[in-house]
Structure formats: structure tokens, C-alpha cells
A and B are shown apart, each in its own frame.
Chain A
């Protein structure tokens, strides 16, 4: 059974940092591109970032470019999102996903003073 389990969310002050993790199981993690998608409270889904299967290529939404870094450890079957210089508008549930099929349950990031 495919599972994606996010962790690392929480409350952080504006300008702070957080690192999200996503533990993958039930499939060959190293074969798949992976994505982070976020959903602000009461709003829709927004793609944040993606990484190719070996981690050599990454892309970001303009809203997070230069502040967020996606990475992966294929030996640990884990996806990461390092979030720096956080803003109030980054408050959202962050989902780790293959998007075309499997999604995690999400982890809530709240940026507030």
C-alpha cells in the first residue's frame, strides 16, 4: 500500500524557518518525481515545488522561489521542503504528492506573530 506521511509543520513567526518531511512507502520512491502542493485555509490547491526522480532537477512556484528548497533522500525514501523567510501568506496545509495518484494527509504550517 502506497503511503505518504508528512511531518514537521507547526507554528512559526514571520521570517522563521521550518523543514517539512514526507516519508514514502509502498512504492519505488526513487522512480518518481515528487511534488509539494499547499492549500491555504478555505482556499484551493496550489502547486509549490517539484523534484525529479534522482534529485538533479527542481522547480518552484514564483511565490516561493528563493525561499523554499525541495530535496530528497532516495536511500531513506524521504522528501523534504526547507522553508525559509516564511511569510504570513505561507500559512497552509502542505501536501506531499505524486499528484497524478497519491497524496499525503498534509501538515499544517502556520506563520503568525
Chain B
């Protein structure tokens, strides 16, 4: 059981916009930045969004993040076949002297 809650799956057709939600609590998302990662099969997680809504260089502006209260979301616009991957949210949690918590991951399928 992950501390952050994500839907297990999401899907869309090429060109569509999809969103993935991430729900937490006051000790994590409610008081700390949210991060999003993309993970392709057999590879390490790749940072997509940091500090709620910032994109690292090289990440297309089709990817965007937002946070409101104790929830966050990742939006992917202009969906492409290469976006098919697992997506994880993460946040620092202030409980237990501080540690990272993750969502259970969302498998995105491009139909």
C-alpha cells in the first residue's frame, strides 16, 4: 500500500490530453514539493516534473504538473506512442524524521 495514491492505469489516443492524479496528505504533498517520474520497461525512473510544475531541460512542454492542497496531477497533452510508460509521483514526507514517499504508479497506455 503506497502512501501516495495514484490510479493504476490510464489511457488515451494519440493527440489526446490525459491527466494522472496523485493524492497524499498534509505531511507530504500538503507541505512539500511534488515530483513526477516516467519509467520505461527495464530502465530507471526519469525525472519529468520537479517542484510541482517545473520541467528539467529536455522534457517536452507537453508534460505539465500542478498541485492543489494535498493532491497533485500530471498532464500530458498531444499524446504520443512513446509516452506509453509507468508514471510515479513522489514527495518528501515530514513524518518519521523525514523520508520520501511514492505513489503506486500509473500505467499509461496509448491506444
Binding site for B on A (CB under 8 A): 35, 37, 44-47, 50, 59, 61, 95, 99-106
Alpha-carbon gap, A50 to B92, bound state (A): 12
A-B contact pairs, 7 of them (CB 8 A): A35-B100, A44-B103, A44-B104, A47-B102, A50-B99, A102-B47, A103-B46
Contact among A44, A99, A102, A106 for B100, CB-based, below 8 A? A99
B102 touches A101 (CB 8 A): no
Q: Which residue of A lies closest to B45 (CB)?
A: A103
Residues of B within 8 A of A105 (CB): 43-44
B 73-88 contacts with A by CB, 8 A: 88
Q: Is B15's CB within 8 Å of the partner chain A?
A: no
Task: Assess the B47–A47 pair: CB atoms within 8 A.
Answer: no
- The reply to whether A59 and B102 contact each other, CB–CB distance below 8 Å, is no
Size bracket of the B interface: 20 to 34
Q: Are A99 and B96 interface neighbours, CB within 8 A?
A: no
Rounded to whole Å, the gap between the CB of B25 and the closest CB of chain A is 16
How many angstroms from the CA of A24 to the CA of B46 in the assembled complex? 17
- In the bound complex, do residue B47 and residue A101 qualify as a contact, i.e. CB atoms below 8 Å apart? yes
Whether the pair B44, A104 counts as a contact (CB closer than 8 A) is yes
With both beta carbons as reference points, the residue of chain B lying nearest to A98 in the complex is identified as B47
B96 / chain A contacts, CB cutoff of 8 Å: 59
CB-based nearest B residue for A106: B44
B56 at the interface (CB under 8 A from A): yes
Q: Assess whether B58 is interfacial by the CB under 8 Å rule.
A: no
CB distance from A83 to the nearest CB of B (A): 18
Interchain CA distance A23-B105 in the complex, whole Å:
28
A50 to B98, CA, bound (A): 9
Q: Nearest Cβ in chain A — how far from B31, in angstroms?
A: 15
- Chain B's closest residue to A50 (CB) is B99
**Complex interface: chain A residues within 8 A of B98 (CB):** 50, 59
Contact with A along B43-70 (1 / 0, CB 8 A): 1111100100000100000000000000
Do A46 and B102 have beta carbons less than 8 Å apart? yes
Roughly how many angstroms separate A36 CA and B88 CA in the complex, as a whole number?
16
Tell me the residues in window 1-56 of chain B with beta carbons closer than 8 Å to chain A beta carbons: 2, 33, 35, 37, 43-47, 50, 56
